[in-house]
Structure 1
Amino acid sequence: MISSPVIFHAVPMTAAHAKDICTWHYKAPYNIYGWLSWEQMEALGIEFGDPRIRREQYVSIMNQNDELCGFAQLFPLDGEVRTVRLGLGMHPDLCGQGTGHLFVSAIIEEARKRYPRREIDLEVLTWNQRAIRAYRKAGFTITDAYERRTPNGVKPFYCMVYDKSRA
């Protein structure tokens, strides 16, 4: 039997989606990508715990059966080059199954709809080769390496930029 490929698409992130995402637990070393509890996110009004930020910057990524598969943040940066920076997370049960590039492609599609003239980039920890492979397959290239502060100390990152000519 031939299984059909997963088809991902973006929808507005609901509070129910956000609450569900806060329950996801990743295996080490990916456990650094977990969130605070939904109650803490809401009380602190941070990230998708803030209804305005959730509405303006976050989307939920669903599959063809409308099951929640992940999320993305599309954060507009206004510097010398107008950019939209992606932040994203896939459901832990779906990670490492070879569909990451399809997942990222759905996020790129949404970013291009919202910000058609902006460059699209993302940051990734240099050790996360699984994510880097998916990003490369979706059309990103490493353009810079640097260190920046995280909740776990200063860590090395790559900046990866999407090649719009692939669209």
Structure 2
Amino acid sequence: MIIRPMKLDQANSISQWKYDEPYDLYNPDDSDEGINELLNGDYYVALNGNEVVGYFCFGSSAQVPGAIMERLYKEDGVDIGLALRPDLTGKGLGKTFIIHGINFAFYTFQSRKLRLSVACFNKRAIKVYQDAGFILASPFTNNNMKFIIMEKPLNEK
């Protein structure tokens, strides 16, 4: 898997992804504003050959407003967001995918900790993140939905 900066054609393709309920919360915004978000420099496409299999985002683009308001994002970590293409979810690919993102972050950012935010109902993702070495850190609420921040020291790939 190769991780590269997002390009316009890839952002357009990703903006059309649709997840089944209850994961439809993760459906990308297909407006011009949503596509511009994918091109803001924080987003990286994950490719298998020329095929888009997912993406990662880092920094403020990976943060959830509810945790920002509660000041849960400290300066000591890099935030990561990620999405696997909808037709690839639930097939046991998540751990390999997140490990590629962890390795990319490890070699790209000068930080001692990687941090992500996940909806509490998403037990499937939480298990994958725990299997990849993330630990539960801080719960919070955003738009009446419960989330949890998970953290992983970057000195442990």
Q: TM-score range by the shorter chain?
A: 0.7 to 0.9
Native 8 Å contact 1:141 1:163 kept in 2: no
Structure 2: 5+ residue stretches without partners? 64-72
In structure 2, the partner of 1:32 is: 25
Match of 1:72 among 56, 60, 63: 56
Native 8 Å contact 1:125 1:158 kept in 2: yes
Query: What CA RMSD, in Å, does the superposition of the two structures yield over aligned residues?
Result: 1.9
SS in 2 for 1:120: strand
1:107 aligned partner, one-letter code: G
In structure 1, the partner of 2:150 is: 160
SS in 2 for 1:130: helix
Match of 1:59 among 23, 31, 44: 44
Mapped to 1, the partners of 2:109 and 2:33 lie a distance apart of: 31
Mapped to 2, the partners of 1:61 and 1:91 lie a distance apart of: 10
SS in 2 for 1:136: helix
Structure 1: 5+ residue stretches without partners? 1-7
Mapped to 1, the partners of 2:44 and 2:155 lie a distance apart of: 24
Mapped to 1, the partners of 2:29 and 2:74 lie a distance apart of: 33
In structure 2, the partner of 1:14 is: 7
Mapped to 1, the partners of 2:11 and 2:74 lie a distance apart of: 32
Q: Label 1:21 to 1:80 Cα distance change in 2 as closer, same or farther (>3 A).
A: closer
Deviations 1:28-65 (A, max 9, x none): 000111122243535xx4x21xx4x1xx21100112x3
Tell me how far 1:80 sits from its aligned partner.
Answer: 4.9
Mapped to 1, the partners of 2:33 and 2:75 lie a distance apart of: 35
In structure 1, the partner of 2:106 is: 112
Mapped to 2, the partners of 1:105 and 1:145 lie a distance apart of: 23
Q: Report the TM-score, using the length of structure 1 for normalisation.
A: 0.79
In structure 2, the partner of 1:23 is: 16
Q: Report the TM-score, using the length of structure 2 for normalisation.
A: 0.84
1:73 aligned partner, one-letter code: C
SS in 1 for 2:144: strand
% identical aligned pairs? 27
